[in-house]
Amino acid sequence: MSPRLLARGLAFAFDGGPALFSRIDLDLRPGVHALVGPNGAGKSTLARVLTGVLPPTAGTVERPERAVTVAQALDAPGPAVERFAETWSGDAVRLRSRLELDDGAFHRWPTMSPGERQRWQLAAAFHERAELLVLDEPTNHLDSGARGLLVELLQEAPGIVLAIAHDRSLLDAIGERTLWLESGMLEVHPGGYTAARDAREQRHAEATSARRALKSRLEGLERERDRRRRETAAATRSISARTRMKSIRDHDARGAVAKGRAEKGAAAWGRSTASLDGRVRRAREVLDAQTVAKRLGGPIHIGASPARGPFAFRGTLGPVVHQGRAILARTDLHLERDERLRIAGPNGAGKSTLLDALAGSLAHDDAVLHLPQELDEAARRAALDRVRALPPRERGEVFANVASLGVAVERLRRSQLPSPGEARKLLLADALRRGARLLILDEPENHLDAPARDRLETALAAYPGALVLVTHDERLAAALTDGELAL
């Protein structure tokens, strides 16, 4: 019998707090299903509820018996990895070969690179051939070659695959259905990420237009109602005036007729006004019910300008050595003012080492931003302190950019130590605002959800300065760079 993952009326909240998500109905059959949404939406929590790690606050889940999860944590190998390391079947050997795993490396797990650990975890998970396979950020730390292999393995998986990912190229390549979790609600879209995003954008535009039309109609009814009220009040005052100012030539019968006509007219105006009151009330109820969800993020402010001369960098660099191996000889390096260069290569090739060397030669240049992969506590705290010390208008621009990249600004304002992801976004947001002429970015997409990557891509495409980029996001690289240095 084909495996099936069935959820009905699913809801979850932590410790009696507000629901992270609710009223989720889901019916998954074999195939690859992508789970996307902004950071903090509850994607990993939903996966843990679906696999039985967490009990739902409400609702039910029917799941296959054999389920395997590859979590983001790489600190220690799990039972599946340990079993795989001791297995020498034909399938296991082929997986080792495809993912370029060193047979003797398993026993030195603490000294492995993050990319190598991730490949071991993926190999072990696919070897299980589970009825339900959950992958939480499977592309973390993988180079381009390993990501291509991951796509192949996903397409060959026999059961239900639920992949939580932010890599847009991967999501488009694997997604038979896209599950979009946002604001506590789950939407199911056919196809990959791009198709789901475009459908949501279209629906949001239509809903916004419809609400604008409803609001315009309500305002027109309110203006008409107010006009009728003024006319009714004027008719009432006229009746009172006629009663007080009776002419000496009027006899009682003629005056009574005139007064009666006036009173009938006033009553008609009153009924018309009451009818309009009802129409205004109903129109307001329809408008209040026609809510349009507030979109997360927004445009990113760029205050940068290119270098004044023809070059953003001109000097001698190198030799650069990585793990005892020269990756760049002593070189006269010229970066033109608007040049966009990608540093490419597999994990361990020395891409970050090269960026560190370039940034080190420009360490005292305030018009250069070097965004490394990792920031220690002192660097994270300094990034927040720098922004807090800015004048109010400039500080507001930075926080607006940070919000566009998917950070909860109020929480960041209260923080004493931003998370690594928050600090990286803070540094990038400030550099885009203040006018850096050269950005040296080492995997800037890290910690960004797919919609935030869309906004980052838009912002960096509009950035007029020079860019040196290391990224494993192929779509980001294709959109932002026009040259490549392969290591």
Check residue 456 and report its DSSP letter: H
Whether 136 and 268 map to the same domain: the answer is no
Confidence of residue 73 (pLDDT cuts 50, 70, 90): confident
Between 244 and 139, the more confident residue is: 139
Residue 305 in any domain: the answer is no
- Dist. CA 282–CA 289, nearest whole Å: 11
pLDDT for residue 253? 53
Mean pLDDT value across residues 433-457 = 85
Query: Which domain CATH number covers 351?
Result: 3.40.50.300
Examine the pLDDT at 199 and tell me if it is beyond 70.
yes
- Dist. CA 154–CA 169, nearest whole Å: 14
Confidence of residue 413 (pLDDT cuts 50, 70, 90): confident
Whether 208 and 162 map to the same domain: the answer is no
Examine the pLDDT at 125 and tell me if it is beyond 90.
yes
Whether 441 and 340 map to the same domain: the answer is yes
Cβ–Cβ < 8 Å for 119, 101: yes
Between 18 and 162, the more confident residue is: 162
Confidence of residue 45 (pLDDT cuts 50, 70, 90): very high
Mean pLDDT value across residues 271-296 = 76
Boundary residue ending a domain (191, 216, 231)? 191
Q: How many other β-carbons are positioned within 10 Å of the β-carbon of residue 360?
A: 10
- Token pair 């192929």 is found at 474
Whether 318 and 406 map to the same domain: the answer is yes
Mapped onto helix, strand or coil, the DSSP state of residue 72 is coil
Mean pLDDT value across residues 184-213 = 91
Boundary residue ending a domain (191, 210, 243)? 191
Mean pLDDT value across residues 304-332 = 79
Whether 244 and 336 map to the same domain: the answer is no
Percentage of the chain lying above the pLDDT 70 cut:
90
> CB neighbours of 367 closer than 8 A, spacing ≥ 6?
307, 435, 436, 437, 438
Mean pLDDT value across residues 355-370 = 87
Q: Mean pLDDT in the chain?
A: 85
pLDDT for residue 247? 55
Between 376 and 484, the more confident residue is: 484
Mapped onto helix, strand or coil, the DSSP state of residue 156 is helix
- The DSSP-derived string for 41-94 is SSHHHHHHHHTTSS--SEEEEE--S-EEEE-S--SS--HHHHHHHT--SHHHHH
pLDDT for residue 243? 56
Residue 297 in any domain: the answer is no
Residue 121 in any domain: the answer is yes
List strand residue ranges (DSSP E) for 350-436, in order: 368-371
List the alpha helices (DSSP H) in 64-163. 79-85, 90-98, 114-128, 144-156
- Token pair 């290591």 is found at 487
Query: Which residues span the domain enclosing 138?
Result: 5-191
Whether 123 and 259 map to the same domain: the answer is no
Whether 207 and 178 map to the same domain: the answer is no
- The DSSP-derived string for 285-312 is HHHHH---PPPS-----------SSSEE
The alpha carbon dihedral of 87, 91, 97, 98 has a sign of negative
Going by C-alpha positions, the residue among 355, 387, 351 that lies closest to residue 371 is 355
Mean pLDDT value across residues 145-158 = 91
Boundary residue ending a domain (138, 169, 191)? 191
Q: How many other β-carbons are positioned within 10 Å of the β-carbon of residue 21?
A: 24
Residue 18 in any domain: the answer is yes
Cβ–Cβ < 8 Å for 143, 115: yes
Whether 168 and 244 map to the same domain: the answer is no
Whether 403 and 446 map to the same domain: the answer is yes
Examine the pLDDT at 13 and tell me if it is beyond 80.
yes
Mapped onto helix, strand or coil, the DSSP state of residue 317 is strand
Examine the pLDDT at 153 and tell me if it is beyond 70.
yes
Whether 166 and 240 map to the same domain: the answer is no
Going by C-alpha positions, the residue among 45, 86, 89 that lies closest to residue 69 is 45
Mean pLDDT value across residues 253-278 = 62
Mean pLDDT value across residues 318-345 = 86
Residue 479 in any domain: the answer is yes
pLDDT for residue 412? 85
Q: Which residues pair with residue 314 across a beta bridge? A: 334
Whether 103 and 210 map to the same domain: the answer is no
Percentage of the chain lying above the pLDDT 90 cut:
33
The H-or-E segment that residue 64 falls in is none
Identify the weakest region by mean pLDDT among 29-38, 40-49, 240-249, 379-388: 240-249
Mean pLDDT value across residues 30-53 = 91
pLDDT for residue 177? 93
pTM, 2 dp:
0.76
Question: What are the pLDDT digits (tens) for 54-72?
Answer: 999 999 999 998 899 888 7
Whole-number Cα distances in Å, 325 to 105, 147, 317, 322, 442: 21, 26, 16, 5, 21
Between 96 and 114, the more confident residue is: 96
Going by C-alpha positions, the residue among 80, 84, 70, 68 that lies closest to residue 140 is 70
Residue 337 in any domain: the answer is yes
pLDDT for residue 346? 84
The H-or-E segment that residue 396 falls in is helix 392-404
Mapped onto helix, strand or coil, the DSSP state of residue 48 is helix
Examine the pLDDT at 214 and tell me if it is beyond 80.
yes
Whether 69 and 178 map to the same domain: the answer is yes
pLDDT for residue 244? 52
Domain count, the chain: 3
Examine the pLDDT at 418 and tell me if it is beyond 80.
yes
List the alpha helices (DSSP H) in 99-246. 114-128, 144-156, 168-174, 193-244
Residue 294 in any domain: the answer is no
- Token pair 């475009």 is found at 198
The alpha carbon dihedral of 169, 443, 470, 320 has a sign of negative
Between 302 and 185, the more confident residue is: 185
Q: Which amino acid is at 331?
A: T
Examine the pLDDT at 477 and tell me if it is beyond 60.
yes
pLDDT for residue 453? 87
Examine the pLDDT at 246 and tell me if it is beyond 60.
no
pLDDT for residue 137? 87
- Dist. CA 137–CA 144, nearest whole Å: 15
Residue 232 in any domain: the answer is yes
